[in-house]
Copies of this chain bind each other. A is one copy, B any other.
């Protein structure tokens, strides 16, 4: 299952690192705790809409831009998931011809 919070976390971390900023700097600018931002970036916590807006503001990024990047990442993850689901699973593969 593709989880939104993980893809949002990845995008936020990438954007912060591209700006060469630390968790401490961005969490202070966004007025969230460092631990909270770290958990959001690792996809371990759902960011509330208000705090997500605040983090985007601290990164000087429109929420729409973050979401369009998240949407692209989710599309990639969905394609991978679809391919994996289509693969036969070793050990649970059933014979083509029934033994009956």
A53 to B72 Cα, complex, angstroms? 16
Task: Tell me, yes or no, whether A98 is within 8 Å of chain B by CB.
Answer: no
**Interface flags, A43-86, vs B, CB<8A=1, else 0:** 00010111011000000001110011011101100100000000
CB distance from A98 to the nearest CB of B (A): 30
CB distance from A45 to the nearest CB of B (A): 10
Query: What would 9 more interface pairs be, CB under 8 Å, given A4-B67, A62-B75?
Result: A2-B63, A3-B50, A4-B52, A4-B63, A63-B78, A64-B74, A64-B78, A68-B68, A70-B71
18 contacts across the A-B interface (CB closer than 8 A):
A1-B50, A1-B53, A3-B49, A3-B53, A4-B52, A4-B63, A4-B67, A5-B49, A6-B49, A46-B49, A62-B78, A63-B74, A64-B71, A64-B72, A64-B74, A67-B71, A67-B74, A68-B68
